[in-house]
Amino acid sequence: MFSKKTILVCPLDWGIGHATRCVPIIKILTELNQRVIIAADGAPMALLEKAFPSLDFIKFPGFRPHYSKSNSQVFEVIKQIPGILKSIREDHFFLEKIVKQTKADAVISDNRFGAYSNEVESVFITHQLHIQTPKPLSAIKPLLDIVNKHSIKKYSSCWIPDFMDDDNLSGNLSRPVFKGIKTNYIGPLSRFSALNIEKNPEKTDLLIMLSGPEPQRSLLENILLYQLGYLQLKTTILRGLPDENTQPEATGNIEFLNHASDIKIASLIRNARFIVARAGYSTIMDLVALGKSATLIPTPGQTEQAYLAQYLSGKKRFNFMAQNDVNLSKIIEKEHVSVISEPFAMVNTELHLRQWIKNL
């Protein structure tokens, strides 16, 4: 039996993906009798409070980036760099206060660059060591690697939620690892990997999984709703808005869900004939965990999602379609193989966490 430690878990609050992939880590830690405190804000806070109502939470305000309606976010992001850097500094100072107040023994930060401590073990979770750039800016990729390495080096170690072998899901995003940084591939993380979901004879024709920042989330929702008006499909739209209290009423064959329980979402995924989803890495891991494929539509301007969609399409694991070219008729006119692999169990993740706690 392990001695009880206090561990802070701090997901980035840019969307809900970083929070969802913290779910299995939090579950394993609590099963190992560890005290987990979650420091989060916004939608991640809402999602994790519903998943772990008995745990302690601390509001951890963060920087909320703005995105444009155009297909390129480069200039919008450049304008916000001073605010992002300021937020990282503020996150670090705030995190040190939390560590002192809670007497934490360790910190696990999912992609939140300022959530590290100089006093206790600090872990950085990321699948993106090598930031992708638009082709016109490819010359600055080496500089971005240097900046990313410098940021991650402030942590005790880096955990990559992926396989290291040929089943690798993140491709060049996570390979090669940075020299001089203790790095471990801990296996993909999915809140669905431990769930036993039976197939339901009541199938859904189409499941649409929306996520990510506004205004692009709503833009895609409106595009798909317009096209659904011409198709007779039993459709569920999972809107990816866990902190939203109101949602559109069901119309015709379309059901709207701002959010749902893990079992409900897993059941929807397993029993959908076709799936359309953003190309966020957490969504991809959830789909792979349930052995399902999908048509991936990257968020415009997010080069990481564009890379993942094209990379996994090239490996014949997912289909890829750009938002400007979305055509639901083309997606459903040809049946594609929906089962792409055996669902994975997070054996590597649990073994890694056990050893990590033992060494704290």
Structure-token pair, residue 141: 């990729």
Give the model's pLDDT for residue 27.
94
Q: Could you give the domains of the chain?
A: 6-190+345-359 (3.40.50.2000), 204-333 (3.40.50.2000)
Amino acid at site 11? P
Q: What is the pLDDT of residue 340?
A: 47
pLDDT (tens digit per residue) in 94-128? 999 999 999 999 999 999 999 999 999 999 999 99
pLDDT of residue 337: 44
- pLDDT for 297 equals 96
Amino acid (one-letter) located at 257? L
- What pLDDT sits at residue 269? 92
Which regions of the chain are under pLDDT 70? 1, 63-81, 83, 194-202, 334-346
pLDDT value at residue 152: 97
What pLDDT is stored for residue 214 in this prediction? 83
Q: Exposure string (b/e) for 158-179, b if CB count within 10 Å is 16 or more? A: bbbbbbeeeebbbbebbeebbe
Residue 110, both tokens:
């999912």
pLDDT number for residue 76: 63
Walk across the sheet containing 157-160 and list its strands.
56-59, 35-40, 6-11, 106-110, 121-125, 157-160, 183-185
Q: Does residue 301 contact residue 134 with C-beta atoms inside 8 Å?
A: no
Q: Strands across the sheet with 272-277, in order?
A: 254-257, 235-238, 204-209, 272-277, 295-296, 319-320
